[in-house]
Amino acid sequence: MAGTLSFEQLKSQVAEGSIDTVLVCFVDMQGRLMGKRFHAANFVEHSHAETHCCNYLLATDLEMATPDGYASTSWQAGYGDYVMQPDLNTIRPMPWLEGTAMVLCDILDHHSHAPVSHDPRAVLKKQIAQLEALGFDAMMATELEFFLFEKSYDEIRKGGFRDLAPISGYNEDYHILQTTKEEGIMRPLRNHLYAAGIPVENTKGEAETGQEELNIRYAAALDCADHHTIAKHAVKEIAWARGHAASFLPKWAANKVGSSSHVHQSLWQGDTPAFHDAKDDLGMSELMKHYMAGLIAYAPDYTFFLAPYVNSYKRFAKGTFAPTKTVWSVDNRTAGFRLCGDGTKGVRVECRIGGSDLNPYLAQAAMLAAGIKGIEDKMVLAPPTKGDVYEDAKAADIPQTLRAATETLRGSAMLRAAMGDDVVDHYTRCAEWEQEEFDRAVTDWEIARGFERA
């Protein structure tokens, strides 16, 4: 949970006047930052201990509606408060906002001060604790893909989300000339995030018009999710400040490649890579094979956490580098799971199923739960698939619709045992509501609903 400012450093900067605002934030079900802007003097004097928010904020949708059917909160129960407890280890500057720092919060019950089980950070922390009890630490890295557009959010919204024009006119995958034209956004993004303590590695053009990728160095699982969330927020704010829009909608146009969020993962024991065995042909330890077997076998159970909206499933299309099958291969981008770094101490598995709209805390937690189950049951990993996995008729399909993924989530004994019935039921209701809203929707609903907010 590494920030770049200690609480004492924050107090000093507040006293000297270089910081006057503190964003006190938590992560909602959709993976967005919610919270309050505190006068910095008030925060360091009083509110660093706790503040409060309405409990509907962990039972809402992309448009901040208040769906019924949640056990945790409702109109009947009156929509009370949660406690937002700042994690003072996460204080960092927000260099793209003048005089501003931020801190992430954990969500607690207003009466008992116990963690709220469906708080995304709490969901991930539970799986990290389960893994630590087995003697391992999880290291993760996520890739953030998104589109930049010529116009601003306001212009696009007022235009009815029609005739969207990406910031470039051709596929810019690894293209230096085109990405030079976008440095007005991408250079400050890299530099501001780095100054905020986010270990940015690079940005690059992705395989579509106006599509970008941001890569952040691997980190402990909770840090990785924090980095992802802050970076995604920064992309939108920095693009907005320069008169452009950025969207993490996975499939904003049928004729465009979608945006993903691949998740790299490995387990360690201290400084020792627990996934590596130099004697194995691919450098994979037995532990890694068990973990991957669970990861793959239970992929249908947790697909909702990788693809949480109706639009998410439009990304799964043959020939677009988005997977359609839950099999693994060696350095093969047509499979749902790719072995990277084979034969080296950096050997790891990349899950390619997740879209750019995933909540990293929930996605990482679900995958850790599946991997832990694989380890505990000593599950056997099938041989890798070769060739064009899109054409592999024997390989199991990824759930192809939100409805299908909702049912596998609802019926997952593995996730219920790992996360708890209350958490699974909470997010099942979240999935149901998204489908219900779509079924009531009008043309272009997905884009209007998710363009800026996903």
H-type alpha helices, 343-420: 360-376, 402-410, 413-419
CA angle 59, 264, 293 (to 5 degrees): 90
Q: Residue holding tokens 């607690």?
A: 108
Mean predicted confidence (pLDDT) in 298-302: 97
pLDDT digits (tens, 9 = 90+) for 165-174: 999 999 989 9
**HSE (CB half, 13 Å, CA atoms) of 166?**
25
Q: How far is CA 350 from CA 170, 321, 419, in A?
A: 27, 13, 23
Q: What is the signed CA dihedral for 8, 12, 17, 21, rounded to 10 degrees? A: 0
Does 441 have pLDDT greater than 90?
A: no
Bridge partners for 418 per DSSP: none
Segment 318-327 mean pLDDT: 86
Q: What is the mean pLDDT of residues 11-29?
A: 97
pLDDT: which is higher, 234 or 327: 234
Eight-class DSSP state of 174: T
Q: Which of 261, 435, 231 has its CA nearest to residue 362?
A: 261
Q: What are the pLDDT digits (tens) for 365-379?
A: 999 999 999 999 999
pLDDT band at 74 (very low <50, low <70, confident <90, very high): confident
The pLDDT, as a whole number, for residue 286 is 98
Q: What is the DSSP letter of 209?
A: B
Report the percent of the chain where pLDDT is more than 90.
85
What pLDDT sits at residue 389? 83
Q: What sections of 80-182 are H helices per DSSP?
A: 120-133, 153-158, 176-180
Per-residue model confidence (pLDDT) at position 443: 63
Query: What confidence tens digit (pLDDT) does each residue in 117-151 have?
Result: 999 999 999 999 999 999 999 999 999 999 999 99
pLDDT range class, residue 3, cuts 50, 70, 90: low
For residue 1, is pLDDT > 50? no
Nearest to 61 by CA among 104, 26, 28, 33: 28
CA angle 388–400–118, rounded 5-degree value: 120
Q: Which residue has the higher pLDDT, 317 or 410?
A: 410
Answer for the pair 41, 64: CB distance below 8 angstroms, yes or no: no
pLDDT of residue 266 exceeding 90: yes
Q: How far, in Å, CA of 423 to CA of 400, rounded?
A: 23
Single out the residue of 96, 94, 95 nearest to residue 238, CA to CA.
96
Average pLDDT in the chain:
94
Q: Which two tokens stand for residue 305?
A: 């956490």
Tell me what the mean pLDDT of segment 260-271 comes to: 96
CA distance 390 to 410: 27
Of 192, 406, 185, nearest to 302 (Cα)?
406
pLDDT for 30 equals 97
Section 6-12 average pLDDT: 96
Residue 2's pLDDT is 53
Strand 263-269 to 137-149 pairing: antiparallel
95 pLDDT more than 90: yes
